[in-house]
Amino acid sequence: MKLAVTYDEGNVFQHFGKTTQFKIFEIRDNKIVDSECIGTNGQGHGSLGKFLKDQGIDALICGGIGAGAREILKENNIAIYGSVQGKVDEVVQKFLSHSLIYSTDASCNHHGDDHKCHH
């Protein structure tokens, strides 16, 4: 399985649509066999779903994510583990041990605060 995590200086980035990097983990037999950080090449919001699909991603861990992006990921059969905070490597260990606290219906929590996410 391939797992992508929104990434910013070692932490889970809190706005999926504006992430500039993902840390990608290849997992076999519930163990990390490879990981790398990849840039999004300036892509954002709607195009990130296709970007992740093209990378062969099966699941995403992120902070906030808008409804439009959630739908695109679901259409591409990418599982979403949202509303996650913390250090990326620690979060992935929690994911592997089935102790990660997350929401499958995470949202971009700053909508309506004079911020337009355009999801």
Residue 12 placed within a domain: yes
Per-residue pLDDT tens for 22-70? 999 999 999 999 999 999 987 776 789 999 999 999 999 999 999 889 9
Residue 106 placed within a domain: no
Q: Count CB-CB contacts under 10 A for residue 49.
A: 23
Asked if residues 57 and 4 have their Cβ atoms less than 8 Å apart, the reply is yes
What's the domain range around 28?
2-96
Residue 89 placed within a domain: yes
Number of domains in the chain: 1
Residue 112 placed within a domain: no
Confidence of residue 108 (pLDDT cuts 50, 70, 90): low
Confidence of residue 107 (pLDDT cuts 50, 70, 90): low
Residue 105 placed within a domain: no
pTM for the full predicted model: 0.87
Asked if residues 10 and 88 have their Cβ atoms less than 8 Å apart, the reply is yes
Percent of the chain scored above 90 by pLDDT?
77
Distance (Å, whole) CA 4 – CA 29:
17
Number of H helices and E strands in the chain, helices first, is 3, 6
Distance (Å, whole) CA 13 – CA 74:
20
| CATH code assigned at 29 | 3.30.420.130
Residue 118 placed within a domain: no
